[in-house]
Structure 1
Amino acid sequence: MNLLLHAAYFAAVKHSDQRRKNTAAAPYINHPLEVSCHLSEVGGISDEAVLIAAVLHDTVEDTATTREEIATTFGETVAALVMECTDDKSLEKAERKRLQVVNAPKKSPGAKAIKIADKTCNLRSILVDPPAGWSWTRQYDYFVWASKVVAGLLGHHPALDEDVQRVLQEGLDKLQPLAAAEGTA
């Protein structure tokens, strides 16, 4: 428990100057904490390394944190999980998105759980308070892409699988007609 609390504090410091892209511009730390809570509450996951990695899943990707710093502070298992969930920011965005789809089935069960929870939380956020300036079409396109990533993650965590599929379907049902109407306007 102490290491999980330390990870939450570590992530809060690392993400302290970051905000979510939603119209509320919520503190970024809310997202990794939500992902870890989702794993515990919805997925029933109690594996401390997975919960810690969930809290830290964006630190290497979105801050100056290094893999070595994660490994030294939280252990090799956590560092490996974080790196499985980290996009290579040196690549173009389209390539990073393509690689998320390609690499999803290759992830460990722990990393798959984190990625499913991450996608579920991002999808819910889009439905409740989408990123500022995102059209209906962009929101719908994100759901379509996320469904391809999620397809490669399913099969290890039934409760997480069921929840993400429900959120995906809800979003696709809501956004498809809005995006279609937007495209004809």
Structure 2
Amino acid sequence: MTTRDDQPARIPATQLRIMPLHAVTEVYGEAGLQRRLAVESDRLAPPHRRTLADAAAWATQVHAGQHRTREPYINHPLRVTLRILCHYRVTDPDVLIAALLHDTVEDQPSAVAGIAEHGPPPIEQALAAIASRFNRRVAGLVAAVTTPACPPGTDRIAHYLDHLRPALDDPWARVIKLSDFTDNGVGIIHSAGPLVTRSARKYDPAVPVLRDFLDRADTPLDADVKDHIRSQLDLARHRFTAILAA
């Protein structure tokens, strides 16, 4: 992804705070998102700020070399975390750390576990490494939002939906999944190629499931935040419809 300013540290914090997350991505790339997270982490107590910075550095290391069509993969968990912190107004450090790490066990379990790649994915070892580095709650949240590998011959959309429902049973995992889905769904117009249509087919049937869980009383978000997320789900549905009709 093209970066127009390779020194985002020069951007005034007040300006960076008001930029949409995908605008930060387009203009300043990964460095801008990392800088935005450092700026926004002033909402946390200093010890939690340091732990979040450690999690961001580790997630960046684990996802090194991975890409999502037009950008480094780490941009996605950075936006997911920033959305939870800035737009959902959640300052629970465990939730933020789990958001940064939410795809690590699914995509890079060997790197998380610190072992050479061989045999079946070391999912349990990776979760144990997260629990050891942070705590069991963080590991549990990451486990909840980790979609297991799709067995051969299984419909991938049905597999995704079958895992989505139990993942959303945990109210805080629900918060992570809602931000993850928003980044993937609303952000689908920032992608290109055949993956766009495949993603629209996969995510479109998940919208009513997510809306149902969002509306539940135990979802730990303020009413205006829920309204914002509902509008984001509607926008994602609109974009899926347009893509699938093309």
TM-score between both structures, scaled by the size of structure 1: 0.83
Equivalent residues of 2:182, 2:232 under 8 A apart? yes
Q: 2:30 is matched with which residue?
A: none
The number of residues matched between the two structures is: 175
Aligned to 1:117: 179
TM-superposed CA distance for 1:116, in Å, is 0.5
The higher relative CO (CA closer than 8 Å, separation ≥ 6) is in 1
Equivalent residue number for residue 116 of structure 2: none
Inter-partner Cα distance in structure 2 for 1:89 and 1:97:
10
Identify the residue that residue 102 of structure 2 maps to in structure 1. 57
Q: Deviations over 1:2-57 (max 9, x none)?
A: 11100000100000010013xx2x00001111111100111100000000000010
1:37 to 82, 92, 96: 82
Alignment match, 2:161: 98
2:241 equivalent among 171, 176, 182:
176
For the aligned residue pairs, the C-alpha RMSD in angstroms reads 2.2
Asked if the contact 1:124/1:167 (under 8 Å) is kept, the reply is yes
CA distance, structure 2, for counterparts of residue 151 and residue 121 of structure 1: 15
Instruction: Decide which structure has the larger Cα Rg and report it.
Output: 2
Query: Which segments of 5 or more consecutive residues in structure 2 lack a partner in the other structure?
Result: 1-48, 113-125
Q: What does residue 93 of structure 2 align with?
A: 48
Q: Take 2:139 and 2:56, find their aligned partners in 1: how far apart are those partners?
A: 15
| CA displacement, residues 102-141 of structure 1 (integer Å, 9 cap, x when unaligned) | 32442x22111001111111112203x12422465x4543
> Match for 1:87: what amino acid?
T
In structure 2, the residue matched to 1:163 is: 228
CA distance in 2 between counterparts of 1:142 and 1:90 reads 13
In structure 2, what residue type is equivalent to 1:165?
A: R
Structure 1: stretches of 5+ with no match in the other structure: none
1:68 shift after superposition: 0.7
Q: CA deviation at 1:159?
A: 4.4
Q: CA deviation at 1:164?
A: 2.9
CA spacing shift, 1:164–1:143, aligned 2, 3 Å: farther
Q: Could you list the per-position Cα deviations for residues 127-162 of structure 1 after superposition, in whole angstroms to 9, with x for gaps in the alignment?
A: 3x12422465x4543442230341343131244432
What's the counterpart of residue 133 of structure 1? 194
Q: Percent of pairs identical after alignment?
A: 29
Read off the aligned partner of 2:206 and give its amino acid letter.
Answer: A
Asked whether the equivalents of residues 84 and 179 of structure 2 are also in contact (C-alpha less than 8 Å), the reply is: yes
**Contact persistence 1:101–1:148 (CA under 8 A):** no
Name the CA distance, whole Å, in 1 between partners of 2:172 and 2:241.
32
